[in-house]
Amino acid sequence: MDRRYAPRATNREQLLSRRDVLKLAAVLAGGAGASAFLAACAPRRGSGSPPPTASAGALTGPLTLIAAGGDPFAEPPLRKVFEDFAALHPGIEWDVRALPGGGPEWDRLARALLASGDPVDLVMINGQQVRAWARDGLLADLSGDPNLDAVLARVPERFQIGGPGETVRRAVPLATARGLQITGLYYNAALLEEAGIAVPTAIEDLGAMVEPLAALGASPLVHCAGDAFFNQILITWILPMIVERSGEDPLEFAERCVKGEIRYDSAEWIEALTTISGLRETGVMLEGSGALDYIGMQQVLLQGKAAATFQGSWMLPQIQAGAPSRPFELHVAPPPLVEGAERPRPILAWGGFALPTTVVRSRDAAYAFLEYASRPEIDREVTAGLQAYSPIAESNDTIADPIAREFLPFFEDAITPLDWLWEPEITAELDSQVQALLKGATEPTAASRSVQAVAEVLRSTGRSYYP
């Protein structure tokens, strides 16, 4: 789950468009599918804005970027950065390949473009895909490159990510990569006031909301489990607090699961899945959430049939643009706590810039662009224009929307999404099992065993991050 914003879409919200893009098989087979792919990959070049201050640098030639989340030249704040950089270096011409989709489809198309032999200088990639790309040898080590020392120094390490078991950096977020997203509880304060209940701070508070909201024809919570891509968000809400409550670091726990040191049917996993299942069983979760899609979930919230939903900051512009059919006062709160937890653990998701492992021409232009885009004054200008959170904290005082600003305190406790750490096959199975739990079609122990079975297949076939 920019990010996720009308009209642009990146990271998790890209699910909404990716179901409509062409599959890689159509690309390889030719015909209309191939034409669409080639059109998406056609160079996007800036028209060239007046030079802010033309330099005497010797950078020349095309600079090719594979872009996720749509064409950056379609967004004025981003277009300005790309064109101003080209104006500073008149020998540079942008070649931006804005591939469709944001999840598996984008991943396949981007890999196909790299494999085609076309020169690629930069990749704008969803952080969720970094570990799989690193596993497959597709991304260069940024932290091993002295040309990027200044860039990495400007972005806190908590926002940088490497491959499995690595301490190196493979991708780095910037405002120019459409910034950061964070999760929280959206709620309708008007509906809570009408029901005479307070904003929930714990999951048990959600349970206490069932009866007074039912009298108004509403449920405490709704989720879009029908769009399975969003189901990881429930895992990343619940599991980190359960793990941390026992004294273990959530990120280390996730890594140990990938290594096989902790099974996916361990006590922590079963408790997390039981908690999610319990949301349905106790009436906290709106009946039918197991089949509801992302847009339908927003409509339920706007219609006052549910008081809250757990989602990311990507949804804010969309829900604000909606048309409520009952009194609606939108606010956000930190993720409600599981029993015994001391603090919530929102997730921080982002898209970032990476360098392909294969070097086909000089990287001087790519280095120069990353240095330029990471300058505090440039980052601040983009943050102000996009109104998407920056990893450079000082830029975020340009966030103007009062509800968007309510998310800012959540950054202190936020962590890397756990679903960025395990293999994509595990993520897909968890998405499926959470959906089944919210439909009442499985139970927590069976769900956890299904995930464990996938992990065992990955190890036996050498596809685990840690075979």
pLDDT in tens, 130-147: 999 998 999 999 998 999
In a domain, 270, yes or no: yes
* pTM score, whole prediction: 0.85
What is the predicted pLDDT for the residue at 57?
54
Number of compact structural domains in the chain: 2
In the block, which residue shows the tokens 């990146």? Answer: 10
Q: Identify the segments of the chain with pLDDT beneath 50.
A: 1-56
What is the predicted pLDDT for the residue at 300?
98
365 and 263 part of one domain: no
In a domain, 37, yes or no: yes
* Domain with 53 in it: 11-179+349-405
In a domain, 330, yes or no: yes
> Ramachandran region of residue 324, left (φ > 0), alpha (ψ -120 to 50) or beta?
beta
Residue 428 sits in a domain whose CATH number is 3.40.190.10
In a domain, 3, yes or no: no
368 and 386 part of one domain: yes
Please check whether residue 133 is in contact with residue 125, taking contact to mean a CB–CB distance below 8 angstroms.
yes
126 and 219 part of one domain: no
Task: Please report, for residues 160, 172, 330, 452, the alpha-carbon distance to residue 167 in angstroms, rounded to integers and kept in the order given.
Answer: 10, 14, 40, 27
120 and 248 part of one domain: no
Pick the last residue of a domain from 405, 427, 450: 405
Percentages (nearest 5) of helix, strand, coil residues in the chain: 50, 15, 35
60 and 20 part of one domain: yes
Q: By C-alpha distance, which of 404, 410, 447, 440 is closest to 426?
A: 447
What is the predicted pLDDT for the residue at 404?
97
Cα 16 from chain centroid (whole Å) = 13
239 and 378 part of one domain: no
Distance CA 131, CA 111 (A): 14
Distance CA 139, CA 358 (A): 8
Write the DSSP symbol of residue 442: S
173 and 270 part of one domain: no
In a domain, 196, yes or no: yes
In a domain, 67, yes or no: yes
Distance CA 209, CA 333 (A): 16
Q: What are phi and psi of 230, to 5 degrees?
A: -85, 0
Amino acid present at 343? R
In a domain, 394, yes or no: yes
269 and 323 part of one domain: yes
Query: Is 171 in a helix, a strand, or coil?
Result: strand
In a domain, 410, yes or no: no
425 and 310 part of one domain: yes
Distance CA 172, CA 124 (A): 9
Radius of gyration of the chain (CA): 22
What is the predicted pLDDT for the residue at 18?
32
**Tokens for 212?**
């007074």
19 and 133 part of one domain: yes
Task: Please report, for residues 213, 261, 305, 306, 355, the alpha-carbon distance to residue 216 in angstroms, rounded to integers and kept in the order given.
Answer: 5, 48, 9, 10, 54
The torsion of the CA quartet 179, 185, 186, 187, rounded to 10 degrees, works out to -160
354 and 325 part of one domain: no
156 and 242 part of one domain: no
